Amino acid sequence: MAEDAPIKEKAPPISLAPKLSPTEWGVKAFFLLCAVSALGSMFLIMVFLFMEAGGLFFMSEEGPGVSLTEFFLSLDWYPTYPDPSYGSLALVLGSLSVTMVSIVLATPFGIGLAIYLSSVAGPKVREWLKPAVELLASIPSVILGFVGMVAVAPFMQNVLDLPTGLNVLNASIFLAIMATPTIASLGDDALSAVSQTVKDGSYALGATRWETISRVMLPASLSGLSTAVILGLGRALGETIVVLMVAGGSAQVPHSLFDSVRPLTSTLAAEMGETAIGSPHYHALFALGALLFVLTLGFNLLAFHLARRWGRSSS
């Protein structure tokens, strides 16, 4: 019988990862510590926010807690009355009204500007216009609010014969101005990420520039464009000083664009500094903050879901 062939030992796997020097390990550990610290800080802030908000709904020395039904479904926000009411529905509807109207105004301008920057503007125009758009996002919101309060509000009141120019439309216009650079900048990045090969193939088939933009680039970048719009919406939802100055400050359900409203953010800014720590009013404001946190988180999760869904459908 032939002797069995010797069994060859398997060669150890070759590691392609470079070995890190002690300095590189130190830098890696530092950045890991920064990431963990940021996540830990956000988690502690969230825990503190919800703990303080929970004080509104439980028994305390001040009396019985507020029911969830009253807080979420009541339209009455009168925290300083002898018989206080802590209904948040009118404030939530006020926030959603100015946010949605602002996004309706900002989305066409933002997407149109993104298309112009990525596909129409020449190199020299883009070189100047792109930084100008990003610079628009850095204008302090208090400046925009001041312009809306002293210039746009009186003009709107006189021309349209309104009781006040501080209303949903005024606030939405300036929130749209603030959201447009975000939508335009992120939309430009999404459109510019479309492969040049895909665009050249469209032109080779005889498509015009507009046909290439509308039938090739927009569907291919739908994921990034939807994310840009949702993030612009989140920017508008979380804005404070503009709505505090030009939305009117009336805690009521808006029935038209010319009604005054009081969004969640302006309520927090206006009332937190004059509230006794530990009082029901204090806990109610934290409950509003927790509600705003949940709404913003929901919009961010929606953006993530749309990006994944449309990203798969366009691939």
pLDDT tens digits, 5-44: 555 555 555 555 567 777 888 888 899 999 999 999 989 9
List C-alpha distances in Å: 158 to 8, 151, 181, 230, 256.
93, 11, 30, 34, 18
pLDDT digits (tens, 9 = 90+) for 215-229: 888 888 888 888 889
Segments making up each domain of the chain, as ranges: 94-314
Q: What is the mean pLDDT of the chain?
A: 85
What pLDDT shows up at residue 68? Answer: 87
CA–CA distance, 244 with 105 (Å, rounded to integer): 20
Name every residue whose Cβ is closer than 8 Å to that of residue 242 and which is 6 or more positions away in sequence.
Answer: 141, 144, 145, 148, 171, 174, 175, 178
- Residue 63, CB-side half-sphere exposure with 13 Å CA sphere: 7
Q: Can you count the helices (H) and strands (E) in the chain?
A: 14, 2
Partners of residue 60 on adjacent β-strands: 63
pLDDT digit string, tens, across residues 90-122 = 999 999 999 999 999 999 999 999 999 888 888
Give pLDDT, residue 7: 55
Identify which of 177, 190, 191, 188 has the alpha carbon closest to the alpha carbon of residue 106.
177
Task: Check if the beta carbon of residue 67 is closer than 8 Å to that of residue 284.
Answer: no
Per-residue pLDDT, averaged over 296-314, amounts to 72
Its CATH architecture, for the domain 94-314, is Orthogonal Bundle (1.10)
pLDDT above 90 coverage of the chain, percent: 38
Phi, psi dihedrals of residue 9, rounded to the nearest 5°: -75, 140
Burial class (CB in 10 A: 0-12, 13-18, 19+), 308: exposed
Tell me: pLDDT of 176 over 70.
Answer: yes
Q: Is the pLDDT of residue 253 over 80?
A: yes
| 262 alpha-carbon distance from chain centroid | 19
Q: Strand (E) positions, the chain?
A: 77-78, 85-86
Query: By CB neighbour count within 10 A (0-12 exposed, 13-18 middle, 19+ buried), where does 284 fall?
Result: buried
User: Would you give the distance in Å from CA 27 to the centre of its chain?
Assistant: 32
pTM over 0.85: no
Whether the pLDDT of residue 1 is over 50: the answer is no
